[in-house]
């Protein structure tokens, strides 16, 4: 990230003054501007874009749905585990008798 930032600072401090000088050919000036635009493309993009209100509501709704689904699955697992524990206890008690 800092390397890209340094590229942009270098471009603004050194490449632009050279491009704006009067003793440079127009063809070279365009190539220098192309270098600056290439440096701008190297700039890192933010990882998370800003969401608008409706997009945030959809994300919240999806998270809520996922948590409800997870709660339901956990309840089913607990019920199955309880059933297995009851079977084990009855087998254990029948073996002891």
Q: Which of 46, 36, 44 is nearest to 15 (CA)?
A: 36
The pLDDT assigned to 80 comes to 92
Q: Which domain holds residue 87?
A: 50-97
CB atoms within 10 A of CB 16: 13
**Tokens 């632009």 — which residue?**
16
User: Do residues 94 and 57 share a domain?
Assistant: yes
Q: How far is CA 14 from CA 9, 10, 11, 20, 37, in A?
A: 8, 6, 6, 10, 14
Name the pTM for this structure: 0.34
Question: pLDDT truncated to tens, each residue of the chain (97 aa)?
Answer: 444 556 677 777 777 777 777 777 777 778 877 877 777 777 666 666 788 888 888 888 888 887 888 888 888 999 999 988 888 888 888 887 7
User: Do residues 19 and 58 share a domain?
Assistant: no
User: Do residues 74 and 32 share a domain?
Assistant: no
The pLDDT assigned to 2 comes to 46
User: Do residues 76 and 89 share a domain?
Assistant: yes
User: Do residues 54 and 78 share a domain?
Assistant: yes
User: Do residues 18 and 39 share a domain?
Assistant: yes
The pLDDT assigned to 76 comes to 92
User: Do residues 54 and 97 share a domain?
Assistant: yes
Among the candidates 45, 62, 80, a domain finishes at 45
User: Do residues 55 and 93 share a domain?
Assistant: yes
Our count of domains for the chain comes to 2
The pLDDT assigned to 10 comes to 73
User: Do residues 7 and 39 share a domain?
Assistant: yes
């Amino acid at each position: 990230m800092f390397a890209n930032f340094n590229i942009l600072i270098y471009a603004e401090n050194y490449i632009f003054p050279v491009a704006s000088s009067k003793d440079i050919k127009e063809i070279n000036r365009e190539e220098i501007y192309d270098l600056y635009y290439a440096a701008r493309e190297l700039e890192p993009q933010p990882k998370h874009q800003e969401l608008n209100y409706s997009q945030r509501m959809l994300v919240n709704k999806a998270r809520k749905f996922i948590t409800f689904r997870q709660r339901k699955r956990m309840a089913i697992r607990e019920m199955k585990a309880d059933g297995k524990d009851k079977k084990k206890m009855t087998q254990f008690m029948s073996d002891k008798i």
